Amino acid sequence: MIAAGLLAAWCVDAYPSPLSSSVEDESALQVHTSYGDLLGAVSEYNDEVIAFKGIPYAAPPTGPRRWRPPAPMEPWTGVRNATEFGIQCPQYNDTMTLWTTGSTQMSEDCLFMNIWVPANRKGDEKLPVYFWMHGGRFIQGSGAVVTYDGSGLAAHDVIVVTVNYRLGPLGFLAHPELSAESETNSSGNYGALDLIYALNWVKEEIAAFGGDPDSITVGGQSSGSSCSLDMMYSPLAHGLAKGIVVESGTRAPHDPMTGSLATSYRLQDQAEADGVRFMAEMNVTTLEELRNVPFDTLLIYDQEDDTTYSDTRFENSSIFFLDPPIWRPVLDGHFLPSTYGELLETGRHANVPILAGYNLDEAGAKLSPGLTLDTFRSNFTAIMGNLSSEFFSLYPAENDAQANNASNRFWQAFSRTSQWKWARDYALGGASADTFLYFWTHTPPDWTLGASHGTEMYYVFNNIPYTQPSAAWTATDYAIEKRMVQYWLNFIKDSDPNGSNLPYWPATSEDPLNMWLGDAWGPGEVADPVEMKLIWEYLKQFEQW
């Protein structure tokens, strides 16, 4: 049963406020790695945490290294200052958002990570590690975004890592000639290979920071959640992570909405054809010439969308089924060896605990502007096809307000059902590890779009009010933050969100339940059984991703 959001009694003892203590041992500011010494600094947000910023983890992917897998960097001499973030990878964005810094400074020499550690950790202590991969549709973002500054979590005896990786055409261009020059006869996943390379770097070096190389949890949101799932699917990453956090990413293999998300993929032939067109648009004929094109010229085509839904029933329903970015991972037989559905069915993936969820007002719900009744009827007639009569029987509407309410209810049930089906497929394919599913319901203050895409990140990183200092955060927001942080900390430490006197979060089973978080706390049904039956009958009509 879902409990009401009464948090005051549980939250009497607030988390330590920032700037409440100081570093006891100044030597903790310096760390020795295999590549050289690093000098960090006390976090600007919490002086119980030391931040090591702008750590290079691979050779600069510039010049002849453009569109090649990451390579080892050269060690440095002396002590490297690690007190400033490294420059972000090239991208087309100058606005500060949940996923971006607003900086216009960028360079192809951008493969940096940041590590936050407790300031007064014991010398022999090996702390669990949270390796976070940013979102941004694979075309924007960086590890320096304040939304996921690691200070708030690292103050509670974990180590947090954020990372830059190549984006847009620099990170995900495929081309027949690139595949031909590759040892694996594949191309297009350079940004994803950066992340695996960074994860290996952490595995090898994190002990120097007080971390446990055998206790790494990877996490991500939006396109970062695709990266999290790919760390599970890709054989190149097996054995590197003990658990995975997927915020807004898991969908049943049959779900056609997967095609609208950065969590989809391109087939190798399709991706290479995109690359041939891209080279022609750059007005060059050889890879050598393409490698000499300035990156700001390449970014002219950075925000192109794919044409996933052309000539399908979804073609005229773009308010729900947005085409994904062209620049996204490739099913290349190397990084991604097969389809998601086949990997789940055969168990050819890492068998690790997973914490995953969706938000109340994303994935088609709470459109702005809202639907008219006519748009509701025309879109869902096309979307549902031969099941449209059953749909309108379950979701009747006679005016615009009812149409918006019906649409929201359907997409919310659809997301929960699709995700639960994914978790069941994970288990039925042979995975013995638990999955823990959530549904986030809380709207941050001064936020007009509800519990929309990414809003849970304000709370799980223990960073309010730094992420939105002008927002009118309330005692309820801080209480919710404390509870969310503890669930995530428990999972990072123990691969199970339960404990610490929190409401019990059941692992996924044959009973269709997931955990409601935010304005209510506790397991709730995925959807009404009649809704689930309709959604499952609908999903079965489509080929698997």
| Bond before 369 cis per omega within 30 degrees | yes
Q: Please say if 222 is a catalytic residue.
A: yes
C-alpha 48/C-alpha 39 separation (Å) is: 16
C-alpha 507/C-alpha 487 separation (Å) is: 13
Cα torsion 486, 55, 34, 228 to 10°: value is: 50
Single out the catalytic residue among 222, 223, 260, 407: 222
Q: Which residues pair with 115 in a beta bridge?
A: 52, 161
b/e map 450-482, b = 16+ CB within 10 Å: bbbbbbbbbbbbbbbebbbeeeebeebbbbbbb
**String of DSSP letters for 403-451:** HHHHHHHHHHHHHHHHHHHHHHHHHHTT--S-EEEEEE-PPPTT-TT-S
* DSSP E strand stretches across 107-242: 112-118, 127-133, 159-163, 211-221
> Which run of H or of E encompasses 190?
helix 190-205
C-alpha 94/C-alpha 296 separation (Å) is: 14
Q: Shortest CA distance to 484 belongs to which of 500, 507, 465, 468?
A: 500
C-alpha 489/C-alpha 481 separation (Å) is: 12
Residues annotated as catalytic (active site), given as ranges: 222
